[in-house]
Structure 1
Amino acid sequence: MRRTLYVLCLMVALLTYGVQAYSQDNNTAKQFSVAGVIYDDSGDPCIGATVRVKNEPGVGTISDLDGKFAIKVKPGATLLFEYVGMETIQRTILKDEPSLSIKFKVAKTNAIDEVVVTGLVSQKKVSVVGAVSTINMEELRTPGTSLVNMIGGRMPGVITMQISGEPGQNLSNFWVRGVSTFGAGAGALVLIDGIEGSLNDIDVDDVESISVLKDAAATAVYGVRGANGVVLVTTKRGSKEKIQVTARATVKLSQIKRLPEYLSSYDYARLANEARAMSGESDLYTPIQLDIIKNNLDPELYPNVNWIDQIMKKTSLQENYYASARGGGDVAQYFVSVGYRHEGAAYKQKENQFHRPLSYDQLTYRANINMNLTKRSELYFGVDGSISNHTTPGGKNTNQVWKDVLQLNPLMFPVTYADGTLPTYGQSDLISPFAALNYQGYNSADNTRNMITLKFTHRFGGILKGLVGSVQAVNDRTSGFSERRFVRPDYYRATGRTATGNLIKTLRSKQQDMSYSSNNESWRKYYMEAKLNYNTSIGAHNLGALLFYYMEDTKGSKWGNGDALGIAAIPKRRQNVSGRLSWGYNSTYFVDANFGYTGSDLFPKGERFGFFPSIAVGWAPTSYKWVQKHLPFVNFFKIRGSYGLAGNDNIAKTRFPYLTIINNHAGTTWGYNGSGIVEKQQGADNLKWEVAKKLNVGIDANFFNDAIKLTIDVFRDTRDHIFQDRVTLPEFAGMVTYPKSNVGRMHSFGSDGNISYFHKINKDMNFTVRGNYTWSQNIVDYFEENKLAYDYQSVTGMPYGVLRGYISEGLFKDEADIRQSPDQTAAFGVVRPGDIKYRDVNGDGVINSDDRVPLSYGNNVPRVMFGLGGEFNYKDFTVSLLFKGNTGVNYYRVGMGYDAGWIPFYNGEMGNVLKMVNNPKNRWIPSWYSGDPSTENPNAMFPRLSYGSNNNNSQLSTFWKQNGSFLRFQELNFRYVFRHRKWLRAAGLSSLECDFVINNLFTIDSAKYFDPEQAWFNGASYPIPTTYSLQMYFRF
């Protein structure tokens, strides 16, 4: 086995390094024989260390499984010994060396010498003057569903919210420095190797680095695409090292912990009677019926169904596999990888030819090679892509399934009747969530993406030394194929029993044989770029210049329904010219000037190009000797600031907002039966870019031999020319739809930063603690709206997305309290003691929409997000953890459209009831019903019960307001790395890494009944689970 593995390693070395065999005939010049053993810093043999001759491309070898090597070289040749993570060693050979001993030292890097990708260029950290967040990729070597989920709580400047735990949908929405516009597009630009892409379509082990560009100094070069921030992902390339083969296997157990608890049938029936009594109505259930329900005597007419238990298992399994190979020599370097993941859902579903369980499968692949055509020219060729399949129920989307769970009471109907037939309910003969998951067929969506990249790079010499030019072409194709296999069985409704006790059922919906439908969509993008980058040093001055051009052409075969004119299918095109000039002096003073000049076909001729400049400066006084002398504990300190413009061309939901589109098939009135003509879209005159004016000031500091690292930024982003409706036009203007124009304005401000502390206890033991935060707030400076009666009704001057409702004054005590309070009946109908009492804000004696005021910031984007984590290392054992959380966000149990459960019996029988309502202390009960005055609790969690619609208590108000902040124990990771074991060598492994990871251990919050990230819609979605993962990395 050992011999076979060594032969394989040697074959790879021959392929990647192109080792040239030395001729042993009499004409060969004298050569020295060199042999020996290579050790790492711990004294263990290095397997596969590179040994090559300096300045002789293709001449070299690798060490074997015992660290041994042998090579012949010319007299005076210099050997280079290289190994991953170790300092390169040079030895000049002047004689035969039969027993050379080489011992590596761990490579040391200075924090300020770290290289950061800052957009189109890479810079040493010391010279970066823009606001750029990066992350150590070691922190992300943990099981996760997507990169977006993994960076949440780990990177300053990034705010994430995960709204679902369902396979295929368990992704996070994310924003860079929050929401800065109320225009159509507020999301950040994601570039993978310079090409727009998705963080959900890439395996974390394919990623070399991630940078988030936050200010104008970093984003201006992206022109119209940089206003909302830019996420740069750089993937792995080949290396001039021996082949490195890595395999990863992950098995994950997903457990559902947080689920709402609802009343049993008996308690539901009791409270239903109470609710009807509160409205002066007779009991819904007689004493005999209550006895039948309590003793479960008739489970078909009076069932006791826990719908969550019927559709959910507690656990599901997920798998993730990955393999890669990386290596190369002086002539070529390559990287190849493939990954696969399967996610199963925790639904209780059957599988047969008509039904498939909900699942998500994805295959990712990547292959690239860098070929050195000459000493100065390089050709890169890469292929990457993904193939995915998402299978879902055929009857309803799963969000609707969860809404049904919230509203179906346990008494409404059984899961199935005794004979196996299925029930239906409501006037429209709706079906249960169990039937939707198991009896309606399935949908299957396949998506394929493939991208081919070709890039040529040339490094100039002579008087042009320092100039690097490159051209790149990309063909990016995506296709989607979806199919629906729909089947519907017979559905019945039971209405009673015959005199002999037989169930009386009525057929409500006849069986439908399986039907089939499908849909094809495809997109293609052509992208081309050319770049000139120049860097040189003159004495203590460092100079840099960049000139960059790109163009892209994107086209889809199906862009939307109802596009009779085919406008949406016209290719989308952009062009951009960007530039950058940088100057640095003695690692102390820094100046960067950037610009982007971008054209987009979304705008009319004459307005298609926009110019977006920026300037950034930095000062690092720690380069002064007097600072080093008097403040020796300050290893690095830099103050930086930037100001500039960035653009956003994603301003409208329509393809060409400047065009006026006529609809000649409009409806008519006044008895005319022909088709009418109307302006479907009023073209926007003087259409402009949305422009972001970005100001940023920040500091970077390292203390105590780089043990403490600190970065803090404060920012302000002002948006002009936001595209919105011109609603102030009078009705007599005759407009069917409002015209739009660039009149909106908004600004956001805040701060983000991170701090870390590293402490080395001894050579075997160390620990790191790190934290980060992002705080962002916005204010709408101008939003066109009609004249309002009161200033507090205006959108202008308020945070974007502010929620408006009523201020609760508690619960009405009695009829006298109702009579003495402002009138609520005109707006909400009959009001009784125990109902919510509202504040008369404008003092007119009547409660109506004029009393609705701003209550809180929007409920789905937190103002503050933070993370706290670290790791402890002892030799080859590591324990790491991560806490993440947010604050500055509220949610409302009622008033947002997800009221079921929180307003008991909100629509008669179509309303489930939470268990907590059963506690008399939690609801207001009149003393005449309970016989106890103490049940008229003015601080009750719920108002009085009512059966059917209660317009008064269902309003968005402070009564239902809850704090949405949370602190989540996001991750706990136990890792052990096996190295230098004989059994590893026997298996051909250099190391084996084992991780046991728990995600979402617990959360401290006020929601309790669902995940706090899902609180803004009362948990009406697949829960976010706790996962237990066993992950193994095999390194060959």
Structure 2
Amino acid sequence: MKLKYCSSVFLISILLLNISKNANAQDSKDTVEVINIKEKGKNLKNIGYGKQPFNHITSSISTVNGEDIQQNFNLNLGNTLYGRLPGLTVIQGNSEPGVGNPGFIVRGKNTFGGASLSPLIIVDGFIAGGNDFGSIFSQLIPEEVESITLLKDAASTAVYGNRGANGVILVTTNRGSSGPLKINFSTRQGFSQAFSLPEFLNSGDYATLFNEARQNDGLTPLYTPQAINSYRSGDSPFAFPHVNWYDEVLRKTAPVSSYNLGFKGGDKTVKYFVMLNALGSQGLFKNFGDLDPESTNSTYHRYNFRSNIDINLSDNLAVAFNLAGSVENKANPWEYNTTSTFSLLERIPSNAFPVRNLDGSFGGNNLYASNPVANLLANGFDQSNGRTLQTSLRLTQKLDKLINGLSATGVVSINNYFIAGSEKNKTYTLFPVLPGAFDTNGNPILGQGIGLTTSLSGVETTRTQYRNFELQGALNYNRVINKHDFSAFLLFNTDNEVRNFSSGAESDPYKHNGVATRLTYVYSDKYIAEFSAGYMGTENYAAGKRYGFFPSGSLGWVVSQENFLNKSKVINFLKLRASYGIAGNENTGGSRYAFITNYNTFTGAEAALGNPNITWEEEKSLNIGADATLLNNLQFSVDVFKRDRSNILTQPLDVYPQFFGATLPDLNIGKTANQGLELALRYNSKSTGKLNYFIEANFSHYKNEIVYNAQLPQLNAGLIAKGGSIDQPRRLMAIGFFTAQEIAERATNPAKYPIPVGVTARPGDLKYQDIGGLNGVPDGIIDNNDLVSNGYPTGQPRTTLGLNAGFKFKGFDLNFVVQAVTGNSVNLNTGIFQAFQNNGNIGSIAVGRWTPETASTATYPRLSSVNDLNNFQNSSFWIKDGSFIKLRSAEFGYSFPKELLNKFKIGQARLFVNGNNLLSFDHIEYGDPESLAGYPVLRTFVLGTRIQF
């Protein structure tokens, strides 16, 4: 299939090259782009279902160009957007090639419960699934993207009806242009490495501290001094092993590569853009396939293609045909994704068992029953292949003979994505070392084997699939009459989505029918009024409740066009704008067809009551903003917003008693509020000198609160969610470590030093503040009534700052992107930081443990060899400041002079080196604040070249 796709695209490109006519070449400017907002009135910006001149846009949008996001190497398009778009929070996801997607939140969280936060994602005017459904967006590459636009307020999202409240991401792909054929080739070669890995103690330290933990628990030591010395010396590695499991499984660097070939050109009849791309990453696993024929090396390859063709069949009829997609192939030893492997690496201590015994058999024991290296060598392998296909055919007919400025458009689009897998499995036998048992040669004796060795067997599976079929029909009107500028559209849309079905278990399709309209009036190029609306319905609600109306209105005033400002040398451009409207969110987290009452199949009894009035979330959004250019070179944009969301699904716990007698349905009764500020600045140097530079910064801040959530009455006022932030963590307040004296006093006065039920307190244990029970009076017990608001939600920073800067000087150029966040917490109360819990490992964080000698300086509770019911409570002790400043990407390059290139008939040639995830300044000593465990975040370095003929 790969060859078939590639061959088709090459044939199309050859056909287009024969059709196109010659045109005059246009030399590109070898300078930093200088953008004057006053000139943007001539530039059309994508605002959803159409484009508008920047001067006429009254909604709140942010845009990044595709050329800008080419500056870092990433397998996932979403990972190129950190710090780029004000209002967009990108949440670090799984970094494993071909598996994980980052999360997106637009203007902060404004819902709770199980409702989706993901914005709607549109590629070239059509639904592309979004991060919740499918990977069409994530598999695009920067080389095929013209721009990515974020729609943030109701004036821009209302046309998307009940799918617009979480914001909309619009992707516009590259198209052809008039001019001779331009051939672009680029390649990047480099490597990735783990940005950060957990740090665990060696075997000798593990054994020493485990003995200490047992003594703290009143138990006898497990390891003798001789055994600890053997662990440290390494003189008997099979009986007393020291295994760094990360070193055994992962390599230090993994090769990555990219090749891109593009064709662009056209004339007044045909314009075309054709692209082929190949991406490759070998992942962090060692090449286990080279060591065992029934394993495989970890690899990921993806081949993207795109052919965008625009044809003027006549002066009045135009056709636009898009054909694009990708072919991806992924292989891993043992498993499709590596979650289980990294869980083992984080859990198994370094002294648990050797990788292999002296006789070459796999080491292991009954406690862990799994050997990470053996899993990757002798458990089989997983291979998968994925396919995306994006097609659309658009016909546009001018109707000027009927009404001057009128046109009609009809479009059909099909988007598909699926992953099929081939799983080859087998099992193996582990052999434990018998403690203290040695043969006559002093070698350890092995015990009975654990598990069976089996032959390889396989199964084929469909892992996931997304499919969308969409039809659109629209009337468009654009007319300028003297000082009056009119534009409008009326669009009819229907689409049929099938989301995330696998193994043939296809769910009922999600169907949407809708009408969208936008009416824009501009007087004298300075007074703007706009009305937009969506009327949309879906089959997921009861008859009579399926359609809703989502209107919005906005106003704009181009103040710089007024007589009192139009000659100002300071204010070159100034536009004020305001909008108010309504948008919806249909992904509320409720069950499918929740208006139907379910019955138990066997008894016939009601299982859950239906809610015939269930509907989508509704958000009313107010936005006030301004855009300006000062002193010709400083561009400025600011927005303040307020969003009020209602109809959030929640249980009516404060209305109906728990003994109601039936499982209550969720009701649309929840409410939230969210407000914030966004700011964007850009300074461009004058382009007349040899040195050209720009500095661009964006700032986003938001604050949300729960207005109503039908919560049960609480004894502790600190547990009341109403009035607090969405997802506000509530934890016990840690107030230090117990001293020996306090433990002694507690024997006679337990209420003075309360502890959780079932806990036996010892010196060095955490103690917690007794907030209170009934009427807020302390009750001498530590329980859920003592939880208080503490820290911020993880992965939802309140404040984000992005900085992008660059310069060019005599052919050399440098640019970089820095991102900073604050108002974000990191919770260290997870497995890799919980020493010895659940027979787990011990990390370097535990070196600062409490002992009688370190009582005044301890940074970690006393160690315990059993599961600790006190110290690992959900408490403030484990909460750390998640703020950070990261150098997300940097690129340094050199462009060869045109005088030299002209001799070889080369248009442009550039060499460059770039990297991403380069540096982090944060408060987390033991890992990356965005990703503490699992497949690590990748730091990547590449050397590349771009050539244009």
TM-score, structure 2 normalization? 0.92
Shift of 1:137: 3.1
1:360 aligns with 2:300: yes
- Counterpart of 2:306, as a letter, is R
Q: Distance in 2 between matches of 1:467 and 1:864?
A: 45
- Give the superposition deviation at 1:720: 0.8
Aligned residue for 1:432? 371
CA offsets, 1:318-371, max 9 Å, x none? 111111111111221122111111111122241144211222221111113222
Alignment size in residue pairs: 909
- The one-letter code matched in structure 1 to 2:329 is N
- Mapped to 1, the partners of 2:373 and 2:332 lie a distance apart of 14
Among 676, 689, 696, the alignment partner of 2:623 is 696
Q: CA deviation at 1:167?
A: 1.6
2:645 is the counterpart of 1:642: no
| Residue in 1 that maps onto 2:775 | none
The AA in structure 2 aligned to 1:185 is S
Query: What SS does the aligned partner of 1:856 have?
Result: coil
Q: Which residue of 2 aligns with 1:924?
A: 850
Q: 1:411 aligns with which of 351, 354, 358?
A: 351
Query: How far off its partner does 1:82 sit?
Result: 5.7
Deviations 1:257-306 (A, max 9, x none): 42232211112211111111222221111223223323223322321111
What is residue 936 of structure 1 aligned with on the other side? 855
2:122 partner letter: L
- Rounded Cα–Cα distance in structure 2 between residues aligned with 1:207 and 1:826: 56
Name 2:328's counterpart in structure 1: 388
In the aligned structure 2, how far is the partner of 1:955 from the partner of 1:14? 68
TM-aligned CA deviation for residue 781 of structure 1: 1.3
Match of 1:899 among 826, 831, 850: 831
Q: In structure 2, do the counterparts of structure 1 residues 408 and 242 end up closer, same or farther at CA, with 3 Å as the change threshold?
A: same
Partner of 2:86: 156
In structure 2, what is the equivalent of residue 948 of structure 1?
866
Task: State the match for 1:188 in structure 2.
Answer: 119
**Partner in structure 2 of residue 7 of structure 1:** none
Residue aligning to 1:1013: 930
Decide which of 414, 420, 441 is 1:475's aligned counterpart.
414
- Secondary structure of the 2:306 match is strand
Relative distance call for 1:85 and 1:1004 in structure 2 (3 A) is same
Aligned to 2:817: 882
The whole-number CA distance in structure 2 between the counterparts of 1:387 and 1:682 is: 45
2:180 counterpart SS class: coil
1:454 to 393, 399, 416: 393
Question: What is the aligned partner in structure 2 of residue 56 from structure 1?
Answer: none
Unpaired runs of 5+ residues, structure 1, are 1-10, 19-60, 63-80, 88-104, 666-675, 928-934
Q: Is the 8 A contact 2:414 2:470 kept in 1?
A: yes
Residue aligning to 1:505: 447
Are the structure 2 counterparts of residues 84 and 121 from structure 1 closer, same or farther at C-alpha, using a change threshold of 3 Å? farther
DSSP 3-state at the match of 2:447: strand
Instruction: Give 3-state SS (helix, strand or coil) of 2:896's partner.
Output: strand
Note if contact 2:791-2:879 (Cα within 8 Å) is conserved in structure 1. no
Distance 1:511 1:227, change over 3 A: same
Aligned to 1:718: 644
| Aligned mate of 2:67, from 118, 121, 138 | 138
Q: Which among 869, 878, 881 is matched to residue 963 of structure 1?
A: 881
- Alpha-carbon deviation of 1:825? 4.1
The CA deviation string for residues 561-604 of structure 1, in whole angstroms up to 9 with x for no partner, is: 9x7xxxx6322210110111111112221111111000111111
1:56-135 correspondence to structure 2 within 5 Å:
61-62=22-23, 81=24, 83=26, 85=28, 110-135=39-64
In structure 2, what residue type is equivalent to 1:133?
Answer: S
- For residues 192 and 16 of structure 2, what CA distance do their matches in structure 1 show? 42
RMSD: 2.5
Correspondence list, 1:868-879, <5 A: 868-879=803-814
Tell me which of 726, 729, 732 is aligned to 1:806: 732
Shift of 1:1000: 1.9
From 938, 943, 948, the equivalent of 1:1030 is 943
SS in 1 for 2:565: helix
In structure 1, the partner of 2:488 is 545
* TM-score calculated relative to the size of structure 1: 0.84
Q: How far did residue 523 of structure 1 move?
A: 4.5
AA at the equivalent of 1:15: N
| Deviations 1:844-897, CA, capped at 9 Å, x for gaps | 222122101121221122112211121111132211111112110011211xxx
Note if contact 2:901-2:909 (Cα within 8 Å) is conserved in structure 1. Answer: no
Q: CA deviation at 1:552?
A: 0.7
Q: 1:15 aligns with which of 13, 18, 43?
A: 18
Secondary structure of 1:518's counterpart equals: strand
Post-superposition CA distance 1:381-439 (Å, at most 9, x none): 22111111222332584223222222221111111111121133345x53132223332
Deviation at 1:783, TM superposition (A): 1.3
**Corresponding position: 1:332 with 2:261:** no
Contact 1:162 1:170 in 2 (8 A): no
Cα deviation for residue 86 of structure 1 reads 7.9
Within 5 Å, give how 1:749-760 maps onto structure 2: 749-760=675-686
String of CA shifts for 1:70-115, please: whole Å, max 9, x gaps.
xxxxxxxxxxx5626589xxxxxxxxxxxxxxxxx99998244332
Q: Which residue of 2 aligns with 1:1002?
A: 919
What letter is aligned with 1:491? Answer: L
Report the Cα offset of residue 809 of structure 1: 0.7
What is the rounded CA distance, in whole Å, between the counterparts of 1:797 and 1:483 in structure 2?
51
Whether the 8 Å contact between 2:620 and 2:643 is mirrored in structure 1 is yes
1:168 matched residue in structure 2 = 98
**Distance in 2 separating the partners of 1:745 and 1:560:** 38
Q: Residue 822 of structure 1 contacts residue 840 of structure 1 at CA under 8 Å; is this kept in 2?
A: no
Tell me how far apart the structure 1 counterparts of residues 927 and 351 of structure 2 sit (CA, whole Å).
Answer: 23
Residue 160 (structure 1) shift? 0.7
Shift of 1:499: 5.5
Residue identity in the other structure for 1:807? M
Instruction: State the AA in 1 paired with 2:373.
Output: F
**After superposition, where does 1:273-312 map in structure 2 within 5 Å?**
273-312=211-250
Q: Which moved more, 1:765-774 or 1:158-167?
A: 158-167
Residues 892, 956 of structure 1: 8 Å contact kept: no
2:83 and 2:667 map into 1 onto residues whose CA distance is 38
* 2: CA distance, partners of 1:984 / 1:679: 80
The superposition leaves residues 430-455 of structure 1 with CA deviations (integer Å, 9 ceiling, x where unpaired) of 31322233321122222212232111
- Counterpart CA distance in 2 for 1:965 and 1:432 is 37
Equivalent position amino acid for 1:905 in 2: F
CA contact (8 A) 2:816 2:889 kept: yes
What stretches of structure 2 of length at least 5 have no aligned partner? 1-13, 129-135, 773-777
- Call closer, same or farther: CA 1:161–1:1006 in 2, change over 3 Å: same
C-alpha contact (below 8 Å) 1:822/1:846 kept by paired residues: no
Q: Which of 517, 521, 527 is matched with 2:459 structurally?
A: 517
Identical aligned residues as a percent: 29
Residue type matched to 1:418 in 2? L
Contact kept? 2:95, 2:936, Cα under 8 Å: yes
Q: Deviations over 1:440-476 (max 9, x none)?
A: 1122222212232111101222462211211001123
Once residues 776 and 421 of structure 1 are traced to their aligned partners in structure 2, the CA distance between those partners, rounded to angstroms, is 57
Give the aligned residue type for 1:884.
Answer: Q
Q: Deviation at 1:616?
A: 0.5
**1:968 maps to amino acid:** K
- Do the aligned partners of 2:157 and 2:164 also contact (CA within 8 Å) in 1? yes
For 2:16 and 2:322, the matched residues in 1 are separated by 22
> Does residue 215 of the first structure (1) align with residue 153 of the second (2)?
yes
1:754 is displaced (CA, Å) by 0.9
Contact 1:883/1:970 (8 A) holds in 2? yes
